[in-house]
Amino acid sequence: MHGIKTLISALLTWGIVAPWDPESRPYLAVAIAVLMVNASTVYQSVRKAAQNVVVRVAGLVLALATARLLGPTVGAVTVMAVIAVLAGPRRTTDDRLQVASIAVIALAATATDPLNNLLSPVLHTIIGAAAGIAVNALVLPPLYLNESDSSVRDLARSMGTLLHEMGAGLTRRQLASMAHTWLHQARNLDKRLKRAEEQVQQADESLRWNTRRVAHTRRKDMTYTDADAFRVLRGVSIQVRGIARTLADSAHDGHTDHHLGQQFLDRYAETLHPID
């Protein structure tokens, strides 16, 4: 499906730009369209498109302003680089470097055709971004609900299994031999917790501006979402790690008065063992 969407966006962009600008080759527009259509979510494709357009416009404006004041000279290149790198503290380093690079390229273009050579890349970027976003949004836009469900269920299953194993181990009087193993497994839950959080966030983001959301009855009828389940499981994971930590401390603490009594452990085993 990614290949089909990429092909559609490339052909659509070429078909739009080539007749409108026959003297140039719309490679930039096609490249932007392919980048947008392969974004992980529709929201990400819109975000990347806006970022690309803003960066290019900023570079062109900087080049035009500098060329008007200093002309296409070494001094103009130095001024543009300093302004692009130091100005705009809210921009990331990559954005500022892109602005500087585009400004230098645009400054070179002003020597031949200031208007066409500067405006054409911006228009190609806008057309390519629009085509890529349209294809990504209309042709089976990506959803990650199944991945989110799977990761949340995997997290719940892992915690339930660990609680069951701790209960069964306490019933068999295996606290001393298994306590550290249980603690290690409880700490490993953090990896599944992080993966589940990432999957839930991606699923929520994939629903933003997604045309498939309207037709997706699964979300329409549910009142308890993966995000709600994850928040509950995150709290449960803290309790599971606490139980494992307490059992490990009790098993290996040198002070006998700090150990949990066997009667308490038997009752605790009855509490944990039925959990499946």
pLDDT at 276: 47
Tell me the two tokens of residue 33: 């369209």
- Residue pLDDT tens, the chain, 276 long: 888 999 999 999 999 988 877 666 788 788 888 988 988 888 888 888 888 787 777 777 776 777 667 666 666 667 666 666 665 545 555 555 566 666 656 655 555 555 555 677 778 888 988 999 999 989 988 889 889 999 999 999 999 999 999 999 998 888 888 999 999 999 999 999 999 999 999 988 888 888 877 655 454 444 446 788 898 999 999 999 999 998 988 887 655 555 677 888 888 888 886 544
pLDDT at 220: 47
The whole-number pLDDT of residue 89 equals 47
Amino acid in position 202: Q
DSSP string computed for 161-219: HHHHHHHHHHHTT-HHHHHHHHHHHHHHHHHHHHHHHHHHHHHHHHTTT-THHHH-HHH
Task: With CA atoms as reference, report the closest residue to 56 among 11, 14, 101, 15.
Answer: 101
What's the pTM?
0.68
d(CA 172, CA 147): 37
Distance of CA 18 to the CA centre of its chain: 34
- What's the alpha-carbon Rg for the chain, to the nearest Å? 29
How far apart CA 101 and CA 81 sit, in angstroms, is 8
Q: Which residues fall within 8 angstroms of residue 254, CB to CB, at 6 or more apart?
A: none
